């Protein structure tokens, strides 16, 4: 068993090539092998969002606060609210982030594949794409 106290958690800087806007990530767990789970609390300020990306084994988002947006490529943008859970299937190209006028925090959970990869990052979501 390993307990991480809240006071020990440190926010991680987010690489600007993977996010647009003001985003804060706080690790929850990166489990050692043979477990594959990684979970983070991700807080987006209004208008902030991820770049397009995929996950080899899928991703679950659980909204904690605020109002967010999520979109699968080729599908309409969906609004997500506290208590909503979003399952994104393996290799589905998508993005997620805060609404234009409200911050949003979610827990992001994904598993690593046999190579250790849990995400493939792509290009930024343009302002026009974000606006829908």
- The residues spanned by each domain of the chain are 20-131
Q: What is the pTM of this model?
A: 0.94
C-alpha 78: how far from chain center: 15
Of 91, 109, 129, residue with least CA distance to 36 = 109
Q: SS3 for 33?
A: coil
User: What pLDDT is attached to residue 71?
Assistant: 98
Say which CATH topology domain 20-131 has. Answer: Jelly Rolls (2.60.120)
pLDDT averaged over consecutive 10-residue blocks of the chain (132 residues)?
90 93 95 93 98 98 98 98 98 98 98 94 98 93
C-alpha 21/C-alpha 122 separation (Å) is: 16
The token pair at 11 is 């926010």
pLDDT computed for residue 12 by the predictor: 86
**Per-residue DSSP letter, 85:** E
Tell me phi and psi for residue 114, to 5 degrees: -65, -20
Contact 52, 95 (CB under 8 A): yes
Cα angle value 37/79/18 (rounded, 5°): 50
């Amino acid at each position: 068993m390993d307990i991480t106290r809240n006071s020990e958690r440190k926010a991680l800087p987010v690489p600007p090539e993977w996010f647009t806007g003001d985003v804060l990530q706080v690790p929850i767990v990166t489990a050692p092998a043979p477990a594959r789970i990684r979970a983070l609390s991700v807080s987006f300020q209004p208008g902030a969002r991820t770049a397009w990306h995929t996950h080899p084994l899928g991703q679950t988002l659980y909204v904690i606060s605020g109002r967010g947006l999520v979109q699968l490529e080729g599908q309409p943008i969906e609004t997500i609210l506290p208590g909503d859970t979003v399952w994104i299937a393996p290799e589905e190209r998508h993005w997620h982030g805060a609404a234009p006028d409200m911050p949003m925090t979610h827990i992001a959970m994904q598993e690593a594949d046999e190579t250790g990869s849990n995400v493939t990052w792509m290009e930024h979501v343009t302002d026009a794409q974000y606006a829908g």
